[in-house]
Amino acid sequence: MWPKNASISQIITYITVTLLLSIGTALLLNNNPEKFGALAGLWLVIPTMTAVTLNIIHHGGFDKVYSAVFTGTTKSSIIFAILYPLGLLLVLAVTALLTGLAEFNTGNLPTAVDLIKSLVNLLLIMIITFGEEYGWRGFLLPALQNRYDKIKAIILVGIIWALYQVPSIYLGANQFGSHDALTAGLVQGAHILTISFPLAYCYFLTKGSIIPIMLYRAVWSVESSLVLGEAESSHTLLVGNYTLFNGYIPLELILNTLAVFWFIKKLRLKSASDTD
């Protein structure tokens, strides 16, 4: 069943094309910095464009492009996609308050209009993340999972996803005047690797659907924008600086790293029970 039966040549082709297109886009934008805003969106669709192309070639048409992804959503995957990012956000908020990294943003809390906008943004972000998730979790993860165990497949996807994003992160940091673009790239690469675990776990709760993963990413993005703020003028529940070690390491990255060990344990226990 595609993409689990994807050949090694198809997997290598996918990885090579996506990484080369990422580097090519970075070089194009570096030579045309005035077009950064207009062309940066290419990074959001290249993974899906490449995977869809391979899918069409494999099946000889469009009829299997959608069914391989959008069928298989389960109740447990939807529940996880909603509750896990909310739980992580709660832990992050409480930790920030207890450590003095943040405080309540009294007098400038989210308004009813902000809440309505967040519902619209939820749908928009799901649509945007489709540009990546059809490729990373809709194709590459199940293709690698069929050749390796789940943990190795997650790590490989995380590394490739991070390598794909590094050129855009580095270029963006330079464009916006960062004094340490390399550190920004390394930190974001580590962040991508760690969040690959909950996203993959969410996928494993489905029967081949990326809808819950898109929902997960949208829930986190929308709710964190309502809760976490870095400026007094923003309408957020909290306001503060959520980084440690001289502002280099986000608190979110630390919590996600700790969560990785929990996911590894869960996946190993699940694999052991499946083989019994």
- Angstrom distance (rounded) from CA 235 to CA 116: 13
Phi, psi torsion values for 102, nearest 5 degrees: -145, 165
Model pLDDT, residue 192:
94
CA dihedral 127, 5, 262, 188 (to 10 degrees): -50
* Rounded-to-integer distance, Cα 84 and Cα 223, Å: 12
| Residue 108 CB-density burial (10 A; 0-12 exposed, 13-18 middle, 19+ buried) | middle
191 and 256 in contact (C-beta within 8 Å)? yes
Q: What is the C-alpha to C-alpha distance for residues 141 and 134, in angstroms, rounded to an integer?
A: 10
Percent of the chain with pLDDT over 70: 87
Nearest to 204 by CA among 263, 128, 260: 263
Q: Would you say 44 and 128 are in contact if contact means Cβ atoms under 8 Å apart?
A: yes
Q: What is the mean pLDDT of residues 203-223?
A: 95
Min mean pLDDT across 111-120, 144-153, 206-215, 224-233 is at: 224-233
CA distance 262 to 220: 19
Q: How confident is the model at residue 188 (pLDDT cuts 50, 70, 90)?
A: confident
pLDDT higher than threshold 60 for residue 276:
no
> Is the pLDDT reported for residue 62 higher than 80?
no
CA angle, residues 238, 123, 185, in degrees to nearest 5: 60
pLDDT bin (cut points 50, 70, 90) of residue 109 is confident
Task: Please name which of 188, 201, 227 lies closest in space to residue 76, comparing C-alpha atoms.
Answer: 201
Residue 190 predicted with pLDDT over 60:
yes
Kindly report, residue by residue over 218-246, the tens digit of the pLDDT.
999 999 999 998 766 678 999 998 988 77
Quote the distance between the C-alpha of residue 198 and its chain's center. 9
- Candidate from 106-115, 128-137, 203-212 with smallest mean pLDDT: 106-115
Q: What is the overall mean pLDDT for the chain?
A: 87
Q: Say how far apart CA 132 and CA 214 lie, in whole Å.
A: 9
Domain positions in the chain: 8-275
pLDDT digits (tens, 9 = 90+) for 167-186: 877 776 666 555 576 777 78
Cβ partners under 8 Å of residue 201, min gap 6? 80, 263, 266, 267
Q: Which residues contact 151 (CB under 8 A, 6 or more apart)?
A: 264, 267, 268
- Lowest mean pLDDT segment, chosen from 8-12, 56-60, 154-158, 190-194: 56-60
Q: Name the DSSP class of 43.
A: G
| pLDDT value at residue 66 | 74
